[in-house]
Amino acid sequence: MIPYGSHFLDDDDIDAVVEVLRNGWLTQGPKVAEFEKLVASYTGANYAVAVSSGTAGLHLACLAAGVNEDSRVYTSANTFVATANAVLYAGGQPQFCDIDPDTLNMSIDCLEQKFASGEQINGVIPVHFAGLPCDMARIKSIADQYATFVIEDAAHAFGATYLDGSRVGNCKYSDMTVFSLHPVKGVTSGEGGLITTNDEALYRHLLSLRSHGICKGNFDFPGISKAGQGDLINLDDALVDGELNPWYYEMQELGFNYRITDFQCALATSQVKKAEKFLARRRELADLYDKLLQGAQAITVKQLGTRQQSSLHLYVIEIDFEALKMSKGAFMRELASKEIGTQVHYIPVPFQPYYADKGFHREDFPAAKHYYDRALSIPIYFGLSDEQVEFVVNEISSVVKAHLS
């Protein structure tokens, strides 16, 4: 089977993990900090915080941004459920914008209309769908005008670049950016995620939230200043002769165990060193698909003209299944019988039963519905060969022609 996506591991990746297993810390050790420093340098951000998953990263980013029960946060209708769920985890109210039919990202016109209508909006989580960055300069301009926070969901977009050529994750257009390190993403740690930011206060808050809300070690006695407000701490526990006791720690807020292991970070560090090679190959594959699918009957290639900007996590086409008189499921099963894996990204979040029960309706998102009815993600990953791409295109074209005639 040719899958729609797959990770790539070489001996360097395996050796990096084995070295930690044989000689290093398993968790909360130096490899985590090494990985975070590498990612901060790669993206151009001041800080990076590695966590157990991209979903954990979104959750912590929402908490750090101050999302609570009074917060209304807009995101794209077409994303994985984790984006909206993270707002719910923090107690907020997720809201949705329809998508732009060309970029497949959140419609910024829709977002602008929501703000202009006077609707309460406390934050925006734009999603860089399939690896194509949103127009973040425009989104930041709107958000700044209304003093709302911005968290980029860059789960698909590690290595992608904005229109100005700078790297996604540098946070010049947002408060925080969240990446996923799931195996089908551009670089992987197995399971894992990342948050980047340029704000030191957010960075320190994220570190605390990542590990139970605990401050430990060489910090500036953050709880001691509260001692006058009541019997919050026992100074004898914290200090001896004005020095911090070596065992002392403080839980200052309700946090989570969203830590990542050292061997995961060893793998991710090795992967990031190959990120540009991975990106270059994905662009070659996308260019080949673009060439082979040019003029194909009943098929529309999406996000054309963006290949040098996108991380190309997905290669998405739209198929006119009505013209084929064939369901999408039947089409996918026919390709599966030819050993070709495909997927649909995604069922729009407002269409999910849980969110429909909250009052969202399909007819309010016509562009997302049109896309969902036709969308298909076809194979793209580093290890895919040119011959396999040609095979995939030939078989798709064969099925289309058979059902058009």
Of 106, 158, 150, nearest to 125 (Cα)? 150
With b meaning 16 or more CB within 10 Å and e meaning fewer, what string describes 9-19? eeeebeebbee
Work out the pLDDT band at 245, boundaries 50, 70, 90: confident
- Position 220 pLDDT exceeds 60: no
Q: Which pLDDT does position 279 carry in this prediction?
A: 98
Half-sphere exposure of 210 (CA within 13 A, CB side): 25
Tell me the pLDDT tens digit for each residue of 59-115: 999 999 999 999 999 999 999 999 999 999 999 999 999 999 999 999 999 999 999
With H, G, I as helix, E, B as strand and everything else as coil, classify residue 167: strand
Question: What distances in angstroms separate CA 162 from CA 57, 166, 214, 306, one per listed residue?
Answer: 21, 6, 36, 11
Q: How far apart are CA 392 and CA 381, in angstroms?
A: 13
Quote the DSSP letter at residue 387. Answer: H
pLDDT by residue (tens digit) across 128-151?
999 999 999 999 999 999 999 999
- Which domains, ranges and CATH numbers included, belong to the chain? 11-212+256-272 (3.40.640.10), 214-251 (no CATH), 275-404 (3.90.1150.10)
Q: What is the Cα–Cα distance from 77 to 372, expressed in whole angstroms? A: 11
Greatest extent of the chain over all pairs of C-alpha atoms, in Å: 88
Sheet with 315-319, side-by-side order of all strands: 299-301, 315-319, 375-378
pLDDT digit string, tens, across residues 113-124: 999 999 999 999
Q: With bands split at pLDDT 50, 70 and 90, how would you rate the model's confidence at 225?
A: very low
Long-range contacts for 355-359 (Cβ within 8 Å, ≥24 apart)? Answer: 355/84, 355/94
Average pLDDT estimate for 153-173 = 98
Split at pLDDT 50, 70, 90, the class of 241 is confident
Helix H or strand E segment including 264? helix 262-272
Q: How far is CA 211 from CA 16, 46, 56, 232, 318, in A?
A: 25, 21, 12, 21, 43
Which phi and psi (to 5°) does residue 246 adopt?
-65, -25
Identify which has the larger pLDDT, 231 or 202: 202
State pLDDT tens for residues 8-47: 999 999 999 999 999 989 998 999 999 999 999 999 999 9
User: Which strand (E) or helix (H) includes residue 125?
Assistant: strand 123-125
Are 198 and 171 in contact by the 8 Å Cβ rule? The answer is yes
Strand partners, 49: 195
